[in-house]
Structure 1
Amino acid sequence: MSSAFSLGIDFGTTNTVVALAGPDGPAHLARFPAPEGELFAFRSCLSFNAPPERPSDRQVAAGPWAIEAYVEDPVETRFIQSFKSFAAAESFTETQVLGRRYRFEDLLSAFLLKMREYAGPDMAELPGRVIVGRPVTFAGAAPSEPLALSRYDTAFGRMGFTEVLYAYEPVGAAFFFARTLDRDATVLVGDFGGGTSDFSIIRFERPKTGEGAGEIRSTPLGRAGVGVAGDAFDYRILDRLVSPAMGKGSSYTSYGKVLPVPNRYYSAFARWDQLALMRASRDMREIRGLLRAAVEPEKIARLIETLDENYGYQLYRAVSRLKETLSVREHADFRFEAGSIHIAAAVTRAEFEGWIAPELAQIEAAVDRALADATLPPSGIDRVFLTGGSSLVPAVRAIFHRRFAPERIETGAELESIASGLALIGRERDLSRWTSSSKPSGASGFPGRADPPG
């Protein structure tokens, strides 16, 4: 790829998308000739596999190839998804995979290098600079932004980039959306990923006279974010429908006393990033020890089978199908079947919305913070652009319909908007207005203002 091109990478919790932009015109997406057909949304997952007789012969795969390797040999394959959730976590130092230690930056660089390999000609030659998307607020209880960005620097540096610049993910989506504007407008962009929900407010104008007449000029006005999104919705589904069938809320006996099974097992079990690590954890040894003492051993046996047989991906598919159906229908059937495990339940949209009410409240508060940061009332917003998978959840859309007229709200390009916008930012004359490196302590994309902690 020529240096005349700019490159944008949207590394997401669920999917990663790469876009390339020339000196003019729209950006185009890197394509991957995956086993099930060509695609541009590359699943953010890894698999590690090694024959028992040759443990040093480790095979690493990413994206759909990782899923394919897992489906072919789920027991012997270590499958990791949603690992972006660890980026800003100081508590995550490393994990053991087939006898080798992996830090977050090791996982990310392994993923990026495999993704580049699968992309073929689209990523055969890379420019020195890349524009990488970053959330307004990283996921986690006490996220460390400097730690996350330093880990990103290491991983993208191993990919071959000499300059790594960061732009807020909703700002990337805003640049993508700006192509559709036929008049000056103040735009609120909501980006709903797997781990974070992020909002930016930007003013787009086309001067009619003078230098740059007709070009889109943009001014950042406000932003906010919260570390909850689609994966948090999944957590609620697992916590309500699956964890009770696997022992949550049950008891075990010890020295004549009846004690509750620790809830921490299920807190980890219901999170995709934690589920991938449980089989090799100390908790797993404790869970095995509970089987003989459990009051309802059949439930603990289901949990052990799910972890031992690596059913995490089948579970993810079952939860995703339920969310997708409830986005278009008022009721749906949840069904998880793997090995000897069969869990089924009827769920209404109203029930699901009740489960995710705490997350909806946090998202709603973040929207209001973005408006306050821009010192604008809802009436000051001309257009609203919602992107990302969870923007399709009716209860999420309702947050915006309560504030803005329906004709102002648009959705679309759920997977491509951020990466395409990042590539378009890469050809801006003044990159400092929209990007930063990990080194400065100032703003990223909002010049002259300091980022809030965490």
Structure 2
Amino acid sequence: MKKYLYGIDFGTTNSALAIYNEETKEIHHTIILPSLIYFYQEPGTGGSPNYVVGEEAITAYLADDMKGRFIKSVKQILSRSSFTETRIQNKRYNASDLVAIILKELKARADQLIGYDCKKAVIGRPVFFDDDDTQKDTLAQTRLRKATEIAGFVDIRFQFEPIGAAFAYEKSLVKKENVLVADLGGGTTDFTYLVLDPEKAGSKNRKNDMIANGGIYIGGDSFDSAFMWEKGTPYFGKNTQYEATPGKVLTVPKSLFANICSWEQMNFFNSLRIRKDIEDYYYFSGRDPQFKNLITLIENNLGYSVFQSIEKTKITLTNTDSARFSYHQMGIKIDEEVALQNYEKIIAKDVDRIANYLDKFIVQNNIDIQDIDTLFLTGGTSMVNSVQKLFKSRLPHVSLNSGDNFKSVVKGLAYSGYLFED
């Protein structure tokens, strides 16, 4: 029987699995799956869970008139001790349970391709799940390991995601290079500085080649949240005024709108008290039509579809100087031209945080930028214009390379079988 191991990149937006044949030392197949789960309103027959994963989750969510529970960005709750569990279809799910649902789907698809139950995997993880917080980092990895075990894996190793990307890039080299890898995903931006050498590819011990690593909790979701705050929330009544008492006019609390800019905060509106407050604001605003959009958004679980439109705008702006932010659903009407220059201003604070961290990373690790041969960018957020400009301005003399933004990491994880050589 052929021997396989799986490289698994569980991502904020998408997750991927690479099937590695340990005998031929080749990748057999790569599977990409959106990190999405949709739970229908009602349980399945006999009370069994009734959900779909990945691409089917989007289809079911829309076809079901968005009445069930749509889950995305699960990776971002791994490090949050405040999240203990959520109840769906009268069943409790903790963070590991939700992650395991996606990992099980990836494993099932891969097992079907190779024809047997593979229990060996290298699991990717960011350098820091939540900035430089050891306690949160330990919690996140513990939860991720538990999810992997629930999904059916037994022999497990962890690898930093940017190191995985580096090993994928190493396969293309003809000579040794000092490489700075920047992995910019949906939730985090990670850096690794290391020596890559095609003659060492697949070697058992690469510790001496790893010079430095670090990361920051900023990614594509941060950009989307900033865009929602600046461009989206005005359409949902951010500037709505209401008459609290006769003659006393106030503006609706901004905290309501901060919670529609972050997907994992959407549950904030589950509180009956908050729902009552929202209804009161709407009544005392004279039934403001923009504020009514907020009620429509919440009651009809439209958050994901709004963020899809934001994502589409962001992607368009990677290739053009302007894009339309357009959304039309259940009476909500958004149609606004967004210039690239305006978008860059919106995300400037987050890009500056990445830039400042990069500077800190270089200084703290005593890296002479003249020694860097190559900058290797990976991850979907690396395609954003402001990000490209950042690296070109900070490292103008360094050769910039990029691989497959959605497969580089997972392929490198699959090439990390040396981790099993204890």
Q: Does TM-score exceed 0.5, indicating one fold?
A: yes
The answer on whether the counterparts of 2:18 and 2:28 sit within 8 Å (CA) in structure 1 is yes
Instruction: Using the TM superposition, name which of 339-348 and 138-147 deviates more.
Output: 138-147
Partner of 2:150: 158
Q: Match for 1:250: what amino acid? A: T
1:182 positional shift: 0.8
Distance 1:52 1:374, change over 3 A: closer
Question: In structure 2, do the counterparts of structure 1 residues 140 and 304 end up closer, same or farther at CA, with 3 Å as the change threshold?
Answer: farther
Contact kept, 8 Å, 1:139 with 1:228, in 2: the verdict is: no
Change (3 A) 1:373 1:29: farther
Change (3 A) 1:407 1:140: closer
Measured in 1, the distance between the counterparts of 2:202 and 2:278 equals 65
State the partner residue of 1:10. Answer: 9
* 1:366, distance to aligned residue in structure 2 (A): 2.3
**In 2 relative to 1, CA 78–279 (structure 1 residues): closer, same or farther, beyond 3 Å?**
farther
Which of residues 252, 257, 279 in structure 1 aligns to 2:242? 252
Is 1:230 the counterpart of 2:220 in the alignment?
yes
Tell me the SS of whatever aligns to 1:254. Answer: strand
User: Structure 2 counterpart of 1:187, which letter?
Assistant: V
User: Partner of 1:160: helix, strand, or coil?
Assistant: coil
Q: Does 1:320 align with 2:311?
A: yes
Residue of 315, 318, 334 corresponding to 2:325: 334
**Is it true that 1:188 corresponds to 2:180 in the alignment?**
yes
Q: Is the 8 A contact 1:137 1:225 kept in 2?
A: yes
CA contact (8 A) 1:14 1:44 kept: yes
Contact 1:55 1:98 in 2 (8 A): no
Q: Give the structure-2-normalised TM-score.
A: 0.90
1:29 pairs with 2:26: no
Q: Cα gap change, 1:285/1:108 in structure 2, threshold over 3 Å: closer, same or farther?
A: farther
Return the match for 2:335 from 331, 336, 344.
344
Measure the CA separation in 1 of the matches of 2:420 and 2:102: 31
Distance of 1:167 and 1:281 partners within structure 2 = 39
Change (3 A) 1:306 1:406: farther
Deviation (angstroms), 1:189: 0.6
Q: Deviations over 1:349-369 (max 9, x none)?
A: 111111111111111122223
2:270 partner SS: coil
Amino acid aligned to 2:7: G
Query: Which residue is 2:297 aligned to?
Result: 306
> Which secondary structure state, in structure 1, belongs to the residue aligned with residue 159 of structure 2?
strand
Which whole-Å CA distance do the structure 1 matches of 2:147 and 2:115 have between them?
A: 18
Conserved? CA contact 1:224–1:369, under 8 Å: no
Q: For each residue in 1:102-140, what CA deviation from the matched residue of structure 2 results, as whole angstroms up to 9, or x when unmatched?
A: 211121122222333345513763444321111112147
- Specify every segment of 5 or more residues in structure 2 that has no aligned partner in the other structure, as ranges: none
**1:390 counterpart = 2:389:** no
Deviates more, 1:195-204 or 1:241-250: 241-250
- Please tell me whether the aligned partners of residues 75 and 308 of structure 1 are also in contact (alpha carbons under 8 angstroms): no
What corresponds to 1:446 in structure 2? none
Q: 1:163 to 1:54 in 2, by over 3 A?
A: closer
The residue type paired with residue 10 of structure 2 is: F
Residue 184 of structure 1 deviates from its aligned partner by 0.8
1:52 to partner: Cα distance: 9.1
Match for 2:65: what amino acid? P
Q: CA deviation at 1:392?
A: 0.6
The number of residues matched between the two structures is 416
Provide the C-alpha distance between the structure 2 equivalents of 1:54 and 1:309, rounded to a whole number of angstroms. Answer: 25
Amino acid in structure 2 at the alignment position of 1:10: D
Q: For the residues of structure 1 that align with 2:131 and 2:59, how far apart are their CA atoms?
A: 29
Q: Take 1:81 and 1:248, find their aligned partners in 2: how far apart are those partners?
A: 24
Give the CA deviation at 1:272: 2.3
Distance 2:76 2:337 in 1: 30
The correspondence of residues 55-454 of structure 1 with structure 2, limited to 5 A, is 56=47, 58-119=49-110, 121-122=112-113, 125-139=116-130, 144-205=136-197, 218=206, 219-256=209-246, 257-275=248-266, 277-278=267-268, 280-282=270-272, 283-294=274-285, 297-405=288-396, 408-427=399-418, 430=421
Output one character per residue of 1:5-60: Cα deviation in whole Å (capped at 9) or x when no partner.
22111000000000122234442434xxxxxxxxx320001000144998946411
SS at match of 1:385: strand
- Letter in structure 2 aligned against 1:236: A
Separation in 1, partners of 2:421, 2:176:
21
C-alpha contact (below 8 Å) 1:204/1:217 kept by paired residues: no
More off after superposition, 304-313 vs 83-92: 304-313
CA distance in 2 between counterparts of 1:425 and 1:267 reads: 40
Amino acid paired to 2:162: P
How far apart are residue 236 of structure 1 and its match? 1.2
**Percentage of pairs with the same residue:** 29
AA aligned to 1:81 is: K
- Structure 2 counterpart of 1:44: 35
Question: Are the structure 2 counterparts of residues 423 and 57 from structure 1 closer, same or farther at C-alpha, using a change threshold of 3 Å?
Answer: closer
Q: CA deviation at 1:281?
A: 3.7
Letter in 1 for 2:235: A
CA distance in 1, matches of 2:114, 2:281: 50
Structure 1 residues 366 and 141: alpha-carbon distance in aligned structure 2, compared to 1, 3 A threshold: closer
Rounded to whole Å, the distance in 2 between the matches of 1:377 and 1:420 is 29
Q: Is the 8 A contact 2:42 2:50 kept in 1?
A: no
Structure 1 residues 386-407: Cα deviation after superposition (integer angstroms, max 9, x where no partner): 0111111111011111133466
Against the structure 1 CA distance between its residues 9 and 322, is the aligned structure 2 distance closer, same or farther, given a 3 Å change threshold? same
Secondary structure at the residue paired with 2:394? coil
1:101 to 1:378, Cα distance in 2 relative to 1, 3 A: same
Distance 1:114 1:325, change over 3 A: same
Q: Deviations over 1:320-368 (max 9, x none)?
A: 1111111111111111111211111111111111111111111112222
Distance 1:280 1:205 in 2: 53
Q: Which amino acid aligns with 2:212?
A: G
Q: Is the alpha carbon distance of 1:258 and 1:101 closer, same or farther for their aligned partners in structure 2, counting shifts above 3 Å?
A: farther
